[in-house]
Structure formats: C-alpha cells, structure tokens
Structure 1
Amino acid sequence: MNSTRATTARFVTTHSVLTMDARHPYVAKSLVDAQDMHRTVMSGFRGWVEDGAPTARSQMGVLSTWSVDLKAAALVLVVQSRVPADWSAVPRDALTDKPHTITVDRTFRAGDVLGFRTVVNPTRTRPSGRPVSEKVRGSRVPHSNPEHVKKWFVGRLQAEGEPAVTEAGVVRIGATADPDGLAIRMLPTVSSPAPHKGLRVARAEIRGTLTVTDPEVLVNTLSNGLGHARAYSCGLILTR
C-alpha cells in the first residue's frame, strides 16, 4: 500500500434542488427530450464561461440527476456545481417551490461508511472487428441487464491499497462495497429528436453503501461524476 496516500480529503460543492410541476410544458419538454433537460440544467449557469464553450459543463463541475413521480406530477431535479446557480430563467409557474440551495463542505476519511444513490449510463465497448494495428475504436453498447450493471459498477470499486486506475484503464471510485448489498434498477432510456437523432442514453439506478478507501479519489469521483453521459443527468453520486 502507498504510505503517502492521503487519509482524508475535503469535498466542497453546491447542490440546487428544484421541485417542478411535471405537467407544465417547460418541464414536460425536458422529460421527453434529453437535450432539452440538458439545456434546463445549464440555464442556471449563464455567464460563467463563454457561450458555446465545448467544456462548459465540466469547467463548472455541473452534474445532475432527476426523478419523477408521475402520480403526483412532480419532478425533482438535483444539480451539483462548483459555482453558484441562478435559476431565474426557469418559468416561475413551472416550479412548485423556490429552488433550494445547499452548500456541501464535507471531509471524507478512509474507513467512512456512506449510503449512496447514483444514476449511471453503464456501457461496454464492442470491438470494431478491425485489425488492432488500425487503432479503430469499437462502438459503445449499453448494458440492459441488472447483473451486468452490477458487474460494471463492481469493476470500478477500489479495495484498500489498489491503484486509482486498473491495468485496463478503468477509473476507480475510491471506495469499495459489498456487491450483494447493491440494489440495481433499470430506468427508461432517454433520447432526443432532431437535430439530435440517434441520441439514446440507457440508464440504471444504483443504491447501496460505500466504504471509503482512497478519500482523494472518492472526492474526484464525486466532483467529476462516474461513467458516460454526464451531460445527460448521469454520473452524479449522492451520498448521505
């Protein structure tokens, strides 16, 4: 084990919680169009970086997750960011309550036990079939089976003393967990119509308990998200 590895790390961020009326046209459009949901999230951060900057979301550390209760017609959107959000662009009548802002300032220690929830876009790479010498990247294929999703997540767990990146290049999360204690739920795929035809984001919810093994790596994961489709409300890990 690396004796210089930090045993504590501090995580500072902002969470905005928006409770919205799922029947309102502004909200309904975001529910049926993943690109529109992305625009709704990013509307809270105008002016921090130049318009159209390709890395705007990652520069500001913007991650999000949402859940909808169709019976109650309520959508709850949680947005994490390194900079303060301004939600004045969201129509007031689309909100059922004022946006609630929480400043998170937490120090994690090796051995801490955390409950967590995350929605991820779990994928695998299908080989291109071309010669390795051509260096042609394979296609990304979503996992659709809960057991395969669990295996995908377990492959990112980091036992004490293990490196932050596997030999295969998989980035670990700075914590471990009991695989049998993980609850996996497949969620509906989200998509976007023209001009984003072909955008389809497979999603799965993972809940369970993490034990911190590398606080610095965990804070990096919490700050930057897990997996792909982070612009489309995947990859944010919420802990308690």
Structure 2
Amino acid sequence: MYLTRFRINTARPGARRLLSSPQSLHAAVMASFPHLLPTAVSEAAAAGPRVLWRLDRNAAADVFLYVVSPDQPDLTHLVEQAGWPAAATAEPANPGWQTRPYAPFLDRLTPGTRWAFRLTANPVHHIRRKDDEPTKRTAHITPAHQMSWLLERQERCGFRICEKPDSKRLLPDGTTHKKAPHHGDRYELLVRDQRNLSFAKTRSSTAGRRPVTLLAVTFDGRLEVTDPDLLRRTLLQGLGKAKAYGCGLLTLAPTPATAGEQAR
C-alpha cells in the first residue's frame, strides 16, 4: 500500500477543470495506475484495499490531493495538467508528487495511542416519508447529525473520538438537549468545509438525465485507537459512501503526545 500527496496548481486551467468535477478527478486518479483496467476497479474494491482519494482545500491556492492505493501511482499526467511541469523536469528526483509506503505507518498503530485525524465523508441515512414508500438515501445536513453519523461508526471502525476534559467544555456534558444533541463541545471533533456537489456521472450522459448530487463534509479531530486491525481496514477501504468521488479517506497524523510516546 502507498500514500501519495500531490499539490494542485490552482492557477492552471486544467486544475480548475478537475477541481470542478469529482467525476473527472476520479478518472484522472484511476489513470495513475497503468496495470489497473477500468473493468477491474469494482472487482478489486470488493475484494480488498481500494484506491481512495481526497482533496484538502486549506486555502484558495493551497490544495492537496491525497491518494491511498495498493499500487504505486504515476501522476505525470496530473503534473502536466494541474501541477508545475517545468519544475518537475528541472528536478528529476522530485517528479511533482510524493509517494511513501503505507505499511510502516500502519504497523505503528497500537491500542491506546492517539492521533489527529481528517476525514472527508458523505454522511447519509435512509428515511421513509410514508409507510408504503421505499426508503430513500438522504444526507445529514446539520453539523450535530453529521457528528452523530461519525460517532455511530467509530466502534466498528476501530477507534474512539477523544472527549474534551470537563474543564474545557462550555456546556454541561457537551449537550443542550437530549433529543437534539450538540456534540461540538463534548468531543475533540470539528465539522468544516461542507460542500454540495452536483455533476454528470459520465460525459456521454443523455439530455435530461439527472445529475449525481451528494454532500461532502470534512471532519477534523483527535481519536484513540481501540482495535488496530479494524482501524487499518478503515484506512485502506474507506468509511461511508461516495468513495469514487473523494469521500471516505481517513488519514492520521501524530499529535504532540503521540510523538513523545514514540520517541521513548
């Protein structure tokens, strides 16, 4: 497994086209693997680790693409479309992206260790307006319900969202009402960068076909490892729906406490 980071040059027209279409960016990511045939993508995803990707928009001109993949990617085409090709040519040792083996990091995950995390996900649930209607997949649109969506999945995904100590909470127990939980003050968890995405699924879509619409939300916070095997599976297979469109990729980073523990 490999973890790759690519900085997008937002001044280039090719970058703007990719950033405006999750479908186009997904196709560009999958084109990074010469041995991965398009017809084999769904079969490979069902069998085990899959290609996951995420956009981190830290600022207007500070956008990174992260990719987790079973094979090492070749992002030359992305450098040409949305990177700095002249700089990459001038420095052969730096092709315009960074790729590292993922296994050494995954092996460091042990119960009780704490990490900062980021996740872009598609928090959805199924509702039925009437008893005789089929269920319909619907996005959670409020931060409180989006947090609840993630908290409901933490145990099965091998981690626990860290809670704030009482001295740092502004609200008693971090909640305002039992029927309408407000988790923002209880957990070390932040919901940000909520985006409504709408795009045609294929370039050959016929006139009148409804576009794909989904809600993408980015979570930042701190977690504690409870089951390393389950967490590794989550990191490699993703969390939630819409993985082909930049959702599901969870990444971890050391916190000051984690770094100190590893140094001892």
| Separation (CA, whole Å) in 1 of partners of 2:81 and 2:42 | 31
| Separation (CA, whole Å) in 2 of partners of 1:214 and 1:228 | 22
DSSP-derived class of the 1:125 partner: strand
| Separation (CA, whole Å) in 2 of partners of 1:101 and 1:56 | 25
Once the two structures are aligned, what percentage of the paired residues are identical? 24
Aligned to 1:53: 40
TM-score normalised by L of structure 1:
0.79
Match of 1:239 among 244, 252, 255: 252
CA contact (8 A) 1:144 1:186 kept: no
CA contact (8 A) 2:14 2:81 kept: no
Displacement, 1:146?
0.5
CA contact (8 A) 2:122 2:247 kept: yes
Q: Comparing both structures, which one devotes a greater share of its residues to helix? A: 2
Task: Please give the per-residue CA displacement for 1:34-92, whole angstroms capped at 9, x wherever unaligned.
Answer: 211111211111323x33335166266210111235643x4311111011111122252
Displacement, 1:204?
1.0
DSSP-derived class of the 1:35 partner: helix
Displacement, 1:33?
1.3
Q: Comparing both structures, which one devotes a greater share of its residues to strand? A: 1
| Separation (CA, whole Å) in 1 of partners of 2:210 and 2:41 | 20
Aligned to 2:101: 103
Shift of the 51–182 alpha-carbon distance from structure 1 to 2, 3 Å rule, reads closer
Q: Deviating runs (4+, > 6 A) in structure 1? A: none
Shift of the 56–79 alpha-carbon distance from structure 1 to 2, 3 Å rule, reads farther
Displacement, 1:137?
5.1
Match of 2:70 among 68, 71, 82: 82
| Separation (CA, whole Å) in 2 of partners of 1:44 and 1:199 | 24
Aligned to 2:157: 173
| Separation (CA, whole Å) in 1 of partners of 2:38 and 2:134 | 31
Match of 2:8 among 8, 14, 20: 20
CA contact (8 A) 2:122 2:240 kept: yes
Aligned residues: 209
Aligned to 1:185: 192
Displacement, 1:32?
1.3
How do 1:152-171 and structure 2 match up within 5 A?
152-158=149-155
Displacement, 1:128?
6.5
Q: One-letter code of the match for 2:53?
A: S
TM-score normalised by L of structure 2:
0.72
CA RMSD of aligned residues (A): 2.2
Unaligned runs of 5+ in 1: 1-12, 159-171
